[in-house]
Chains A and B, each alone.
Chain A
Amino acid sequence: MPFRHAIGGTTHVFDDLRTLLARATPFRSGDALAGVAATSAAERVAAQRALADLPLRHFLNEAVIPYEKDDVTRLIQDSHDAAAFAPIAHLTVGGFRDWLLAAEPEVLAPLRRGLTPEMVAAVSKIMRISDLIAVAQKCRVVTRFRNTIGLAGTLSIRLQPNHPTDDLRGVAASTLDGLLMGAGDAVIGVNPATDNIEQVLGLLTMLDEVRTRFDIPTQSCVLCHVTTALLAMERGAPVDLVFQSIGGTQGVNESFGVTLALLREAEDAALSLKRGTLGQDVMYFETGQGSALSAEAHHGVDQQTIEARAYGVARAHAPLLVNSVVGFIGPEYLFDGKQIIRAGLEDHFCGKLLGLPMGVDICYTNHAEADQDDMDTLLTSLGVAGVTYIMGVPGADDVMLAYQSTSFHDGLYARAALGKTPAPEFAAWLERMGIGPGEAIPASLSPALIGLS
């Protein structure tokens, strides 16, 4: 069914829902690359007005990617909860924006299963940045493994101690540096330089030793492919969380070498280890706008709508952490600081509204038009929006992945500026260990205890 809207004597026609959503998206390079972006500012606002007039019910009748062709569409449609949808079933997309902005925080959580990713993406397209922040701030998502993540007034940090050759002592040194700066309550998570199983086993063992030696109430993760994690679990390795990159179409997930069934198998395997103490949220997903286009699996759908559909995949599980690696994929998808900032806040808003523990890797590569000032702006905005966690990378410079993210210092800044604390169990641990400012390393965290001497 085509959609129409007239502006200044010109009638703009949009052939179907995916076209309407794509033309309504604030400009970004990836949608232009895919050939789905609006070709003028007038066309964009016409699409936004037409979208605002669209009843939310329409999203239950028209899929952006056909049900028969895509398992993510099937997952989204088959799991829609009509009862949860009832309170907003009478609204248009525009009316939904107004409703969200006026809503009391406690009405948002019961709504989650009644929302589809496409509805959430749609409403974000007609929101300003302050709207994305204000509504996300009202969403509370709490998860547990060995600590409690996502409580009001907390901001957690993933300690990311990567090393170009996975040198165990190098990783341990960065880990210690992060712990001394209050990072690591979300997870101590290493991106391995290769997916080699022996190397992954070595890292898993070392991280588990650091955690148990210092008795840290947190979890570790080696961000290898899900099939490698399954192999590691078969070999009895200490796997806390299973990591996987996911996307919002069947095709992009295939390009990552995963299926919905494989993700389920991995979650079951990790659950069977029963390693959590406070909870059993065992999955860690990463996403990012542009991956579907990169895999040529986007079906003419804009990159932000597909990103929201990736959250549809994530919420079929009980993840401890979900992370949009917003600026990593490159300038052909998000060209500059302005596009990265908007995308990061959209991703956080969409994920939170769908009920996910959203973190953001606030980051950029050197071929994007961005710098640390852009990261500071996005970090502060996300902190106000109540982001669940951010990255902590030594000096903001990842020496393995060759990109810039947020540093341990940035985490301290954000907590101080916004009056946030780490996860409560972790905050108590920091106090117990005597960790605070100063150049000396407390004896309780002696590097010799983890083999650094």
Chain B
Amino acid sequence: MSITRWSDLRRFTEARVGLGRAGNAVPTAAHLDFQEAHAAARDAVWSALDVEALRAELGPVPVLHSEAEDRRTYLLRPDLGRRMRAADRESLPRTGSTVIVVADGLCASGVQRQAAAMVRALEAEWPVVIVQQARVAIGDDIGEAMGAEAVVVLIGERPGLSAQDSMGIYLTWQPRRGRTDAERNCISNIRPGGISLRDAAAKVHWLLRGARALGATGVALKDDMTAAPLLE
């Protein structure tokens, strides 16, 4: 089929191409499509984790909170989102194993929809905790308190206009406060249309085996897992 009109270009990309023009602006329908997508992304940022719904799926796991009191504080003070409340620290059991941390991050809806299924896909007997108003590095705090061998943080990713349901996974070997981002491995864009739960779970196990052999995660642990198709 020949491509003769701008709108034909939409076949090749999800980007907003071929929108047409009203003068120099986008036509009304495209303008309102954008506004609707922005509203959804904004609401996703401010959405709260439904903790009880998650526990209904995950079981009676501990529920923790960062030092960021509310969403506004969370956005302005990333340092507070990286630390858990002192009282929570004392409530946690010690475990030598890997720990799974389910964190709301910048978009609760991604983990709300996918975290429980992800935990099941991992097929591991690791303890799970839920934490609210949390940044990635709170996994270091929690892992240290629990004496964890490694921490697997499932966290809501920054929403875009075309995706408000994306989850990221961060792995840190021997987590403790003060670890840097260069000491983690990340699997991002886990969502319908992105990386599948099954592929993400396989990668978590692959990386953890590598971490155990190397004694570290991060830049030293290169993800050269034989590429299975990432998109389904």
Contacts and interface: CB of A to CB of B under 8 A. Distances in A.
Say whether A and B bind each other: yes
A366 B45 contact: yes
Interface stretch (B88-96, B115-123, B144-152, B157-165): B157-165
A174 B3 contact: no
Nearest to B79: A33
A335 interface: yes
A441 B9 CA distance: 10
B26 A407 contact: yes
B179 to A, nearest CB: 14
Chain B contact-residue range equals 35 or more
Given A332-B78, A367-B158, A402-B158, A170 B7 contact: no
B232 interface: no
Interface stretch (B34-42, B125-133, B207-215): B34-42
Given A332-B77, A452-B9, A397 B24 contact: no
Contacts of A180: 6
Interface stretch (B11-19, B51-59, B197-205): B11-19
B3 A447 contact: yes
Nearest to B193: A164
Contact of B24 (A176, A372, A409, A446): A409
Given A395-B16, A441-B4, A452-B3, A177 B158 contact: no
B44 interface: yes
Interface string B86-116: 0000000000000000000010000000000
B212 to A, nearest CB: 26
Given A366-B42, A453-B3, A172 B12 contact: yes
Contacts of B77: 33, 332
B76 interface: yes
A395 B19 CA distance: 7
A413 interface: yes
A261 interface: no
Contacts of A33: 76-79
Interface in A430-451: 437, 439-441, 446-448
A178 to B, nearest CB: 9
A416 interface: yes
Contacts of B13: 163, 167, 169-171, 173-174, 394, 399
Contacts of B1: 453
A371 B3 contact: no
A396 B38 CA distance: 11
Contacts of A167: 12-13
A404 B12 contact: no
B9 A397 contact: no
A337 interface: no
Nearest to A437: B21
A395 B8 CA distance: 16
Contacts of B160: 366, 397-399, 402-403
Of B4, B13, B20, B162, most A-chain CB atoms within 10 Å: B13
Contacts of B189: 164
B228 interface: no
A365 interface: yes
A161 interface: yes
Contacts of B6: 177, 180, 439, 441
Nearest to B163: A402
A130 B37 CA distance: 33
Contacts of B79: 33
Contacts of B11: 173
Nearest to B230: A165
A397 B16 contact: yes
* Closest 6 pairs (CB-CB, A-B): A395-B16, A402-B160, A170-B13, A173-B12, A177-B17, A412-B24
Given A163-B13, A173-B11, 9 more contacts: A162-B15, A169-B13, A174-B15, A332-B77, A399-B15, A402-B163, A412-B24, A439-B6, A447-B9
15 contacts: A165-B231, A169-B12, A170-B14, A171-B13, A173-B9, A331-B76, A394-B19, A397-B15, A399-B15, A399-B162, A402-B161, A409-B19, A409-B26, A413-B24, A439-B20
